[in-house]
């Protein structure tokens, strides 16, 4: 029982590390898109909408690749537990979008 709690914290660390690396990488990659000054006379919705959509698509691609890699590495009996990390990552996506535009 103690071993499973310890492994949960290790996987939580890997998950947080993955999320931080993906967020920093994508925010650096997409730094040229969008408008930083939202209070303008011109409409800035379209460039920021493109930035948001590209961020979401690239994030989902990174998550899909990570799920495929981890799914091939873990034994079959642990694969259903992988989905809770996917759902947690999807819940973190709006938080990352808010951080991206602030």
> In the predicted model, is pLDDT for residue 60 greater than 70?
yes
> In the predicted model, is pLDDT for residue 58 greater than 90?
yes
pTM over 0.95: no
pLDDT at 76: 82
Note whether 62 and 93 are within 8 A (CB): no
pLDDT at 1: 35
> In the predicted model, is pLDDT for residue 73 greater than 90?
no
pLDDT at 5: 61
What count of Cα atoms within 13 Å lies in the side-chain half-sphere of residue 42? 8
Note whether 24 and 37 are within 8 A (CB): no
| Average pLDDT along the chain | 81
Please give the structure tokens belonging to residue 80: 């259903």
Locate the DSSP E strands across 1-102.
none
Confidence of residue 41 (pLDDT cuts 50, 70, 90): low
């Amino acid at each position: 029982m103690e071993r499973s709690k310890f492994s949960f914290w290790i996987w939580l660390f890997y998950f947080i590390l993955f999320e931080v690396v993906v967020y920093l990488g994508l925010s650096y990659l997409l730094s040229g898109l969008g408008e930083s000054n939202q209070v303008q006379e011109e409409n800035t919705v379209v460039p920021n909408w493109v930035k948001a959509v590209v961020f979401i698509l690239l994030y989902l691609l990174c998550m899909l690749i990570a799920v495929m890699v981890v799914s091939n590495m873990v034994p079959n009996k642990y694969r259903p537990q992988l989905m809770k990390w996917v759902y947690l990552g999807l819940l973190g996506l709006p938080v990352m979008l808010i951080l991206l535009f602030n």
